Amino acid sequence: MSLLKSVSLKRLLLGLTTLSLLLLTGCAGKPRNVVQLLPDPDGHVGVVSVTTQAGSAQLTKAGCAVRVADAKSMPTPPEDLTEAESDALFGAAKRALPTKPVRFLLSFESDSIRLTPESRRLLPEVLTTATARNSRDISVVGHSDKAGSEDYNLDISRRRAEYVRNQLVKAGIPAESMEVTSHGSSNPLVESSKPHEPRNRRVEVTVR
């Protein structure tokens, strides 16, 4: 008997707690399916579109958000979210977002795998960054300019990337943390009408 009583008392308490929580948060009816746009790390504000079966809404202003009640309804018109609600909805994910990878551009002498003197001096900084970020994922991508055949360009950009990888291994970065690829002349840093373009003759090291 006393067991029964305590069970029903517990239920009553639980019901009351739920009710007061609902009243406190005032979330009756406001969907918690939310998308919020934030400024990029560099301050620029992008555009995000949210599309259900009923149609699309666009987010273009930093901090604004839309809610979606269900798949067949239009997203709500963009609104500002309070810091408190934003934190309750996505705070943990936001805090876990990794900082932007750090990219180094290493330049080469024309038609060779010799680093320019300035780029040679950058190598210790790559090591410092990899250590500071505790990075286990570093990509080393070789690029060439447009002078010469694409076969040749793929080959020289691969040899440039391998050279940089070997230098970093010598400096103490584990080889298994690095991935080496070559893009030839297909992914130029700057669009140039001249085939010889020193800025495109490079190895990009991305420390993730």
Partner 1 sequence: MKRHITFFVVTACVVTFLFASAALAADAQIPAGSVKNITGTASVSHAGAAAKALSPGDRLFEKDVLVTGKDSSLGVILRDNTTLSLGPSSRLVVERFLFEPQKGSLAQVLRISRGSMAAVSGEIVKLNPAVARVETPLYSIGIRGTHFLLNLEPGLESEADKAADKAAGMTPGMTGGVAK
Nearer to partner 1, 94 or 120 (CB): 94
- Comparing CB distances to partner 1, the nearer of 82 and 99 is 99
The count of chain residues that interact with partner 1, using the rule CB under 8 A, is 51
Residue 146 is encoded by which pair of tokens? 């447009």
- Identify residues 106-165 at the interface with partner 1 (CB under 8 A): 134, 136-137, 139
Nearer to partner 1, 29 or 117 (CB): 29
- Structure tokens belonging to residue 48: 């995000």
Binding map of partner 1 across residues 14-43, x = CB under 8 A, - = no contact: -----------------xxxxxxxxxxx--
**Residue (116 or 139) nearer to partner 1, CB:** 139
The Cα-based distances of 181 to 42, 111, 127, 176 in angstroms read: 28, 18, 19, 14
For residue 101, the 8-state DSSP code is: P
Among 6, 18, 25, 49, binds partner 1 (CB under 8 A): 49
Would you say 69 and 166 are in contact if contact means Cβ atoms under 8 Å apart?
A: no
Give residues 73-92 in contact with partner 1 (rule: CB under 8 A): 75, 86, 89-92
Token pair in block for residue 1: 């008997």
Of 70, 79, 109, 125, the residue at the interface with partner 1 (CB under 8 A) is 70
State which of residues 51, 110, 112, 166 lies at the interface with partner 1 (CB under 8 A).
51
Burial level of 99, CB count in 10 A (0-12/13-18/19+)? exposed
Q: Which two tokens stand for residue 183?
A: 């893009």
Among 26, 98, 117, 172, binds partner 1 (CB under 8 A): 98
CB 147 within 8 A of CB 138: no
- For residues 140 and 178, the answer to whether their CB atoms sit within 8 Å is yes
Q: How far is the CB of 26 from partner 1 (least distance, A)?
A: 16
Closest C-alpha to 187, from 179, 197, 177, 178: 197
**Residue 71 touching partner 1 (CB under 8 A):** yes
Identified binder of partner 1 from the candidate list 22, 187, 195, 196, rule CB under 8 A: 187
Cα-only R_g, the chain:
27
Cβ-based neighbour number of residue 166 at 10 Å:
13
Q: Note the residues at the interface with partner 1 (CB under 8 A).
A: 31-41, 44, 46-52, 59, 68, 70-71, 75, 86, 89-101, 103, 134, 136-137, 139, 177, 179, 183-184, 186-187, 206, 208
